[in-house]
Amino acid sequence: MAANLRLTASAAAELARQAAVAGTPGQMHLDLTPGDCAEHVIRIRPGHLAGIAIARADGVTLHAPENQLRQLQGLCLDYRGDLSGGGFLIRSGAGIEPCACGSAFSRS
């Protein structure tokens, strides 16, 4: 693994579920887009679109563009669901300031 990105058990389970529903079992892709509330917003899509493997857990491999590895270093990806829906969230780590929305962050 090239990036030090951690997946919680709930994030790994949801990634695996979404990959299976999309017809790409075990393969998901994460990339960063510019954000409004913070520097980077995570975008997660099914499949191995490009890039390299950055995390593996519970039978799913998460890929990301190689040029974004530095920004992904030290992130923890979590998933929270409730009766009104759910979503992936960034958990803070050293030098990471998550936005209140949960899916965006900036580097300090």
Q: What pLDDT tens digit does each residue of the chain (108 aa) get?
A: 556 789 999 999 999 999 999 999 999 999 999 999 999 999 999 998 888 999 999 899 999 999 999 999 889 999 998 888 899 999 877 788 988 888 899 988
Q: Look at residue 41 and tell me if it is in a domain.
A: yes
Q: What is the pTM of this model?
A: 0.89
Write the CATH number for 47: 2.60.300.12
Question: Hey, which bits of 35-75 come out as E strands?
Answer: 40-46, 52-57, 60-64
Residue carrying the six token digits 């990634």: 15
Q: What's the confidence (pLDDT) of residue 2? A: 56
Query: Is 99 strand, coil or helix?
Result: coil
Q: Look at residue 1 and tell me if it is in a domain.
A: no
Query: What range defines the domain where residue 88 resides?
Result: 6-107
Which of 10, 20, 16, 33 has the alpha carbon at shortest distance from 88?
10
Number of domains the chain contains: 1
